[in-house]
Structure 1
Amino acid sequence: MKSSELKGNYDGIFSLGDLCLASIELQKNNLRPYSGVLDWMGSIQLSDVNKLLMNRFAGFMELENLRVVGEANEEMLLVSDDAYGILSNHDFSKAQNTHTHLAAYPEVKEKFNRRVERFLQKVDNSERILFVRTEGSIQDAYDLQMVLTGLVRNDFRVLLINHAPVKGIIELDWPLDKVCAVQLPDGDKWEGNHGIWKSLLNGIYHI
């Protein structure tokens, strides 16, 4: 799929990871009207996201599957959902939680339950949904397309962005009907590509 085929109106837009970058850029471009399930999490392997979507989030962030694996920063613990290989780095503060007791778990789980419910309602009721993902192989992109075909009731598109030593936007000619795959510069992907993201998302609107 060409990037030109992404243009138009959507009544659902979600980030699918792999880190916070897609959510940040969607927000900067006024395309993030609500929080998605994976917005501020680490989902490094797209195959893990495919599994999560295929299971319709069953068992996601259940307490028995959570494990503190380190510290995300000076304020937050890094917590792994070992059932799906997905990392929480913005949910469990050191002020409230310890390595052996996640005291904030009930409110964190309630938040994710709300986001999952919204996501599932959107994929069931929206006329056209856009999913944005950073990092993924062509095989995982194909698997994602197949999973979403079974999950989304109506039309959808996927914008998959891989970072590489390139200049500007490089469109990849992947033989996928629903996935537009591109490469963006990897030199400073967090701060150096804002203008490129703006150009890439130009002509895309949330209604």
Structure 2
Amino acid sequence: MKIDEIKGQYNAIFSLGENCIPALKLRKFNLREFAGPFDWVGSPNLPKVINLIRTHFSNFLIGDNLIVPHYASNEDLLVVDNANHISFNHDFKTDVNTLTHLPSLPQIQKKYEKRINHFNEALSNSQRLLFIRTEANIKDTLELENVLSQLVKNHYCILIVNHTAVKEIVEVDWKIKNVCAIEMPNNDIWDGNDFLWERIFQGIALM
């Protein structure tokens, strides 16, 4: 698919990681009405993300799988779901939690349960969905498309954004159904490409 082919209206647009960039850009350009399960976490391992989607997040954020390597900041702990290679940088506040004790875990589990339920309901009930993933290869994207094709009941598109040594948006034809793959400059990926994201999102809207 080309960028022009993903233009249109969607019931929801979800980030699939691998960091906060998709959620940040969706929020910046008013294309995000609610949080998804991958919005503010680190999810570098796409096969693990795919497995979570396939299994309806069955072993997500379980206490026995969590490790706390260090502080993410003065306000937040870094908590890692070791089974799923998911890093939580913004959820576990240091005024409540410590490196050895996470009393806010039940509350955070409940928050993510709500996000997961909304995500799963959208897969079944939405007429049009858009998924955005930064950093993915062809092999993993093929598997992602295969899993989503079994779970999404209606129309959907996947936008893959890889940051490489390019100067502009470069469309890459991976010849995968429902997938638009592009490359974007890899310098200052957090703020420097806003004008390119704006171009991508032109003609995309929420219903």
Kindly report the root-mean-square deviation, in angstroms, between the aligned alpha carbons of the 2 structures.
0.8
Instruction: Tell which deviates more after alignment, 110-119 or 64-73.
Output: 64-73
Q: Deviations over 1:136-195 (max 9, x none)?
A: 101111110001011111111000100001011000010111110000000111110000
Name the residue aligned to 1:135. Answer: 135
TM-fit CA distance, 1:105: 0.6
% identical aligned pairs:
42
Cα distance in 2 for residues equivalent to 1:57 and 1:151: 13
Name the residue aligned to 1:41. Answer: 41
Does structure 2 retain, via aligned residues, the 8 Å contact 1:173–1:181?
Answer: yes
Cα distance in 2 for residues equivalent to 1:69 and 1:145: 33
Cα distance in 2 for residues equivalent to 1:50 and 1:71: 28
Does structure 1 retain, via aligned residues, the 8 Å contact 2:12–2:32?
Answer: no
Does structure 2 retain, via aligned residues, the 8 Å contact 1:17–1:44?
Answer: yes
> Structure 2 counterpart of 1:161, which letter?
V
Which aligned segments of 4 or more residues in structure 1 are displaced greater than 6 angstroms? none
TM-score (norm 1): 0.98
SS at match of 2:49: helix
Are 1:173 and 2:170 matched, yes or no? no
User: How do residues 112-191 of structure 1 correspond to structure 2 at under 5 angstroms?
Assistant: 112-191=112-191
TM-fit CA distance, 1:64: 1.4
SS at match of 2:119: helix
Cα distance in 2 for residues equivalent to 1:191 and 1:200: 15
> Structure 2 counterpart of 1:30, which letter?
N
Cα distance in 2 for residues equivalent to 1:40 and 1:133: 13
Does structure 1 retain, via aligned residues, the 8 Å contact 2:127–2:154?
Answer: yes
Q: Which runs of 5+ in 2 are unaligned?
A: none
Name the residue aligned to 2:88. Answer: 88
Name the residue aligned to 1:78. Answer: 78
Cα distance in 2 for residues equivalent to 1:151 and 1:101: 37
Q: Deviations over 1:58-90 (max 9, x none)?
A: 111111111112222221111111121111111
How many pairs are equivalent?
207
Cα distance in 1 for residues equivalent to 2:117 and 2:104: 20
Does structure 2 retain, via aligned residues, the 8 Å contact 1:45–1:136?
Answer: no
SS at match of 2:58: coil
> Structure 2 counterpart of 1:129, which letter?
L
Cα distance in 1 for residues equivalent to 2:193 and 2:117: 32
> Structure 2 counterpart of 1:138, which letter?
I
Cα distance in 2 for residues equivalent to 1:171 and 1:17: 20
> Structure 2 counterpart of 1:44, which letter?
P
